[in-house]
Amino acid sequence: MPLYEHVLIARQDLSNTQAEGLIEHFSTVLADNGGKVVENEYWGVRTLAYKINKNRKGHYAFLRSDAPSAAVQEMERLARLHDDVMRVLTVRVDEHKEGPSIQMQKRDERERGDRGDRGDRGERRDRDGDRGERRERRDRDDRN
């Protein structure tokens, strides 16, 4: 069966238990239609990038599922009809990564990659992009 990752955003005025209840509800919807939820995470209340239905914050939930497409379509349909759910995003993936999602990892645990040696950067430039030569010339011309 195909593998999917889902992110749900619920209204901010729900309690944490109600938001986690939504995760269980949509997990059972997937299970009733022949799929299974491999892992779920509750990310908590986070600030939205823009207002959605006059809300500035929302409860975020993350699900990893192994389900047929019909089960995913039914879950998305019910999520869009649910009054407490503001947004749903579903992405099909080739494989599920082990461990917690990137949102649940601490900043210092994340891999930053090798940036390599940055070497000598040279002189610092000012906002105009020059190295102060034009400013010195301009000041000298103003004095004369």
Buried b (16+ CB within 10 A) or exposed e, 105-134: eeeeeeeeeeeeeeeeeeeeeeeeeeeeee
- Residue 112: inside a domain: no
| Phi, psi of 141, rounded to the nearest 5 degrees | -70, -35
Phi, psi of 134 (to 5 degrees): -65, -40
pLDDT of residue 46: 92
pLDDT score for 109: 62
Distances (CA, A) of 62 to 43, 66, 67, 95, 128: 7, 14, 15, 15, 45
Question: Is 68 in contact with 33 (CB distance < 8 Å)?
Answer: yes
CA distance 75 to 84: 14
| Ordered mean pLDDT values, 10 residues apiece, the chain (144 residues) | 91 91 92 91 91 92 92 93 93 83 68 63 64 66 72
Q: Specify the pLDDT at position 99.
A: 74
Q: Which two tokens stand for residue 39?
A: 């892992």
Residue 52 inside a domain? The answer is: yes
Number of domains composing the chain: 1
Range of the domain at 65: 3-95
Residue 89 lies inside a defined structural domain of this protein:
yes
Instruction: Return the pLDDT at 116.
Output: 62
Report how far residue 45's alpha carbon sits from residue 58's, in angstroms, rounded to the nearest whole number. Answer: 5
Q: What is the CATH number of the domain that holds 37?
A: 3.30.70.60
For residue 95, the model assigns a pLDDT of 84
Is 84 a domain residue? Answer: yes
